[in-house]
Structure 1
């Protein structure tokens, strides 16, 4: 990493050697590692995930509860489909909240930084309505003003390790933040939904907040990019996956995660992944 960039005094994000070391960015070719964002971006970015592959690898990507930015600095990747030819993915991509998983094949020598945004993070970075990204993966170029995109490309071309790449991405995101304040009603609803692991009645939540259900759902979709019901379904599924361990029954997992019964859990799981839980969990590389 170039020392001049590492020691700059920007006043925004990781502007000291100590701060960068605290991120504990690993050396290359180490698989998958997560890095926390700098404090200035903590309300927008949940984490950075560095994904590096030595050999070709196929993984299943489960739906996230926020928008993802993918910035590829080496190799290539393709979306695999059972009923149509594979689709090459853009090196710089943005992916909205989805209702189903994706299978991605990454080439040998691949390197990618995934920016995992908080639920309302995209609406605080981009001018276009985040709901337009639902079930969509697009080129990041289409979502950024051309000078901004070209500036980030040029800046990253001078980065030679993951510490430097993340520092430059953080500076870019900090500069993209819009001045519109976050919707505190939606933020409060998200906290309640996460606390309940998705097991919460939407009508009752809207009543508690003090707005009609219709108004609440419109504001939620505008800020998050999906409906409150779909968001809660993703939270519940993610929690159920975290409960899985060999020997634990599906009935136990289903009840602990808040599903009505095992059949309800299997039905929702299959709708997202295309497979029953045990078959998926025993053979899939997923994240």
Structure 2
């Protein structure tokens, strides 16, 4: 499988983490893979074969190009055929200025671009399909998104500033964030749900969970208990409980599975966490 990332235009960098492509003529993954919660929303242009979401043991086809909403739990997929994808990975809250749809409404699911994004995104899909090279696709996407980047509203600005502070200060309480930003929890929660798609508590859980995955794969600690304390969990039972809520598996079971996608994104995960989600 070929996986590459591309930087967006500097004016788009506050909203978009990267563009990326993945190509594989043969099945690149095992039969079941895990899309873990990572705080991002993806706009995925699929020019290869369809893949499937696995729900309650049954496979439901994810047809064509689509949006993957922010994930509160891991989504199980089966992608065992030809892969040809060009995708936009938004930062937390970054999709809101382009879609203008409350992000919590499409959390934890797959949505066709026609359902959420409209006809102009279908036209973008056609132009990207016809492009002959990666740099052409990056240029086309930059121009398209820049033309749709309008003035940010107060809810967006507030949610991004407060989420940046929370992610950079995970040891601080949400009550402290409310005092700092002159608000109360219900208002903070409402703006997070609107712009980012999850509550402040859920976003911090996702960050802690991603840090734990990266730490487990790094093999820097002798035990999972040491991993738990290093990543800010109160104790091992807290670690196992939250990890299972987000992944559906215990930390030990998750490591045993050796999900291919999780291993592929390790460098991306390390980069994101090193810059506190790069907000």
TM-score range, shorter-chain basis? 0.7 to 0.9
The two structures have a TM-score, normalised by structure 1, of 0.82
Q: Give a deviation string over 1:48-88, Cα, whole Å, max 9, x none.
A: 2222223222331111212111111222211123x242011
| Residue 116 of structure 1, aligned match among 89, 93, 99 | 89
* Residue segments in structure 2 that go unaligned for 5+ positions in a row: 263-279
Instruction: State the 1:210 CA deviation.
Output: 1.2
Q: Which residue of 1 aligns with 2:130?
A: 158
Instruction: State the 1:40 CA deviation.
Output: 2.0
Q: Which residue of 1 aligns with 2:38?
A: 64
Q: Which residue of 1 aligns with 2:228?
A: 254
In structure 2, what is the Cα distance between the partners aligned to 1:285 and 1:157? 26
- Is the Cα–Cα contact under 8 Å of residues 193 and 232 in structure 1 kept in the other structure? yes
- Is the Cα–Cα contact under 8 Å of residues 199 and 236 in structure 1 kept in the other structure? no
Instruction: Please tell me whether residue 277 in structure 1 is matched to residue 248 in structure 2.
Output: no
Misfit runs of 4+, over 4 Å: none
Report the 3-state secondary structure (helix = DSSP H, G, I; strand = E; otherwise coil) of the residue aligned with 2:130. Answer: coil
* Residue segments in structure 1 that go unaligned for 5+ positions in a row: 1-28
Report the 3-state secondary structure (helix = DSSP H, G, I; strand = E; otherwise coil) of the residue aligned with 2:150. Answer: coil
- Is the Cα–Cα contact under 8 Å of residues 53 and 106 in structure 1 kept in the other structure? no
Q: Which residue of 2 aligns with 1:24?
A: none
- Is the Cα–Cα contact under 8 Å of residues 49 and 115 in structure 1 kept in the other structure? yes
In structure 1, what is the Cα distance between the partners aligned to 2:185 and 2:66? 33
Change (3 A) 1:134 1:108: closer
Q: Which residue of 2 aligns with 1:20?
A: none
Matches within 5 A, 1:27-106: 29-30=1-2, 32-56=3-27, 57-58=29-30, 59-81=33-55, 83-106=56-79
Instruction: State the 1:138 CA deviation.
Output: 0.6
Change (3 A) 1:149 1:187: closer
Instruction: Please tell me whether residue 141 in structure 1 is matched to residue 114 in structure 2.
Output: yes
- Is the Cα–Cα contact under 8 Å of residues 254 and 261 in structure 1 kept in the other structure? yes
Instruction: State the 1:156 CA deviation.
Output: 1.8
Instruction: State the 1:128 CA deviation.
Output: 2.2
In structure 2, what is the Cα distance between the partners aligned to 1:140 and 1:253? 39
Q: Give a deviation string over 1:228-269, Cα, whole Å, max 9, x none.
A: 111110011111111123363111111111100111111111
Question: Greater helix share, 1 or 2?
Answer: 2
Alignment size in residue pairs: 255
Rg: which structure is higher?
Answer: 1
Q: Give a deviation string over 1:160-213, Cα, whole Å, max 9, x none.
A: 2322223222222222223234633322212222213x4431122111211112
